Amino acid sequence: MSDFFNGIPEIRYEGAQTRNPFAFRYYNPDEIIDGKPMREQLKFAVSYWHTLCAEGADMFGVGTADKSFGAAELMDMYKNKANAAFEIMDKLSIDYFCFHDRDIAPEAQTLSQTNERLDEIVPVIEENMKKSGKKLLWGTANCFGNPRYMHGAGTAPDADVFAFAAAQIKKAIEITVRLGGAGYVFWGGREGYETLLNTDMAFELDNMARLMHLAVDYGRKIGFKGDFYIEPKPKEPTKHQYDFDASTVLAFLRKYGLDKDFKLNIEANHATLAGHTFNHELCVARTNRAFGSIDANQGDMLLGWDTDQFPTNVYETALCMLEVIRAGGFTNGGLNFDAKARRGSFEHKDIFLSYIAGMDAFALGYRIALKIVADGRIDEFVKARYSSYSTGIGADIVAGKATMEQLENYALKKGDVRASVGSGRQEYLESVLNSLMFG
């Protein structure tokens, strides 16, 4: 194993009372919890782009963190990044990683030169995977960063750009298959528009679906058995992103017959940008049998953009994990930390400290979610709230037997129904939640 972080020990579970910053307080990877080791329940993944690439540049200043990993030559730097990725996973007991094509190897002058660079790096990753047993949660193609994608990739008005995106995605799927990836993500970076004055929305959406069908057909042809995902996001970079939220994406997938192959990758900060809670988006995905994977992070409610912070809000992680439990746990998906340390947290140490914070927040959230289920008060309340649909007129409605005439007769006989309306008891339920969290 490489030694880029030689001052950082292997991070171990020491329990909630520990004052050791390089220890887990709640994440105990091999503890059996609900029938499986915690590491298998939570399926944490390292995001290659934030962790190995992003140096903290923003529109007001250059990067503050050094992610060159001691290399002077470009390709050496990317080899070092690959080795560093596995050192990070190893030290943190993280079993999975996710990447964009351009995170693992930088773009060159031409597509074939870029592909050669990928072919040079993929064996380095492959070798590390073999040695460590780490796995690829999902791969994706960055079809938004290069200026050629200024008007979109699949939704670009220029057919050459569509062709280039398809070629890039083809290669990214090949790499994902070669590395045994369980998923392939479409995040529609610039798939959206700024003004309808220059945009044919219907044509662009048809083209996006064409590209996805091509990708699915090709992936299945070369043996990809995993899930394709769409990752909804409402804005940023375009004003109107086509993949606004989970509901919008589900309508798109069904319209174009893509719903058999695609599930959703729900990201916390994207949910809140869309004006939803994280667990709302998860619930929409779950109840439509489209829950796939999670990009774990959190936004700042006072800022209107995608801050991609490491998740530390335990209310959110607990309610998220409650949805995951209700979905029956992860299958091909997992918890990918699409999160970056703040620009001021620029030391290599901060990579570890921020992962520890995020992993502990999810481990604690998971423990609380299991308590909510075992306690049963919240589930029982919800069940009782709808109990009038189990008998009488309610049962007839659910069975599809009640007609409009019968319902009218029923209501006329009742005269008024105000007396049977129960309280929603929101405050009581919130206090139950608090007692389960802090009691």
Which residue among the candidates 90, 95, 101, 103 is catalytic per the annotation?
103
Name every residue whose Cβ is closer than 8 Å to that of residue 19 and which is 6 or more positions away in sequence.
none
Q: Which does 140 bind (CB under 5 to 8 A by kind): Co ion, ligand XUL, none?
A: ligand XUL
Q: What distance in Å separates the CA atoms of residue 186 and residue 334, rounded to the nearest whole number?
A: 16
Query: How many residues of this chain interact with Co ion, rule: CB under 5 A?
Result: 3
Q: What distance in Å separates the CA atoms of residue 198 and residue 196, rounded to the nearest whole number?
A: 5
Q: Which is nearer to ligand XUL, 305 or 386 (CB)?
A: 305
Min separation Cβ 288 and Co ion, Å: 20
Q: Which of 103, 227, 338, 360 binds Co ion (CB under 5 A)?
A: 338
Q: What distance in Å separates the CA atoms of residue 77 and residue 75, rounded to the nearest whole number?
A: 5
Of 378, 361, 285, which Cα lies nearest the Cα of 327? 285
Q: Which of 101, 103, 227, 267 binds Co ion (CB under 5 A)?
A: 267
Within residues 211-250, the interface with Co ion by CB under 5 A covers: none
Min separation Cβ 325 and ligand XUL, Å: 23
Q: Which does 323 bind (CB under 5 to 8 A by kind): Co ion, ligand XUL, none?
A: none
Min separation Cβ 53 and ligand XUL, Å: 11
Q: Which does 306 bind (CB under 5 to 8 A by kind): Co ion, ligand XUL, none?
A: ligand XUL
Of 425, 420, 423, 424, which Cα lies nearest the Cα of 388? 420
34 is known as an active-site residue? no
158 is known as an active-site residue? no
Q: Which does 360 bind (CB under 5 to 8 A by kind): Co ion, ligand XUL, none?
A: none
Look-up of token digits 């790096």: 121
Which residue among the candidates 50, 95, 100, 227 is catalytic per the annotation?
100
**308 binding Co ion? (CB under 5 A):** no
> Of 157-165, 261-269, 352-360, 383-391, which part binds Co ion (CB under 5 A)?
261-269
Min separation Cβ 308 and Co ion, Å: 8
Of 355, 85, 93, 45, which Cα lies nearest the Cα of 229? 45
Judged on CB neighbours under 10 Å (0-12, 13-18, 19+), 417 is exposed
Name every residue whose Cβ is closer than 8 Å to that of residue 84 and which is 6 or more positions away in sequence.
2, 4, 5, 52, 69
Q: Which is nearer to ligand XUL, 174 or 338 (CB)?
A: 338
Q: What distance in Å separates the CA atoms of residue 193 and residue 207, rounded to the nearest whole number?
A: 14
Look-up of token digits 């914070």: 357
Measured between alpha carbons, how far is residue 8 from residues 104, 136, 189, 224 in Å? 24, 24, 35, 37
Residues that bind ligand XUL (CB under 6 A): 100, 140, 185, 187, 231, 233, 267, 295, 306, 338
Binding string to Co ion for residues 15 to 34, with x set by CB under 5 A, is what? --------------------
Six-digit token string for 61? 């200043």
Min separation Cβ 231 and ligand XUL, Å: 5
Cα four-point dihedral sign 160, 164, 165, 170: positive
Question: Closest-CB residue for ligand XUL?
Answer: 187
Six-digit token string for 20? 């050791």
DSSP helix/strand/coil, 184 = strand
Q: Which is nearer to ligand XUL, 275 or 328 (CB)?
A: 275
Min separation Cβ 267 and Co ion, Å: 4
> Of 210-218, 238-246, 338-346, 403-411, which part binds Co ion (CB under 5 A)?
338-346
Beta-bridged to residue 44, according to DSSP, are 335
Q: Which is nearer to ligand XUL, 143 or 433 (CB)?
A: 143
Q: Which does 261 bind (CB under 5 to 8 A by kind): Co ion, ligand XUL, none?
A: none
Q: Which does 185 bind (CB under 5 to 8 A by kind): ligand XUL, Co ion, none?
A: ligand XUL
Min separation Cβ 338 and Co ion, Å: 4
What is the phi/psi pair of residue 402, to 5°? -75, 135
**95 binding Co ion? (CB under 5 A):** no
Q: What distance in Å separates the CA atoms of residue 358 and residue 345, rounded to the nearest whole number?
A: 15
Residue 183 DSSP one-character state: E
Site for Co ion, rule CB under 5 A: 267, 295, 338
Active site members? 100, 103
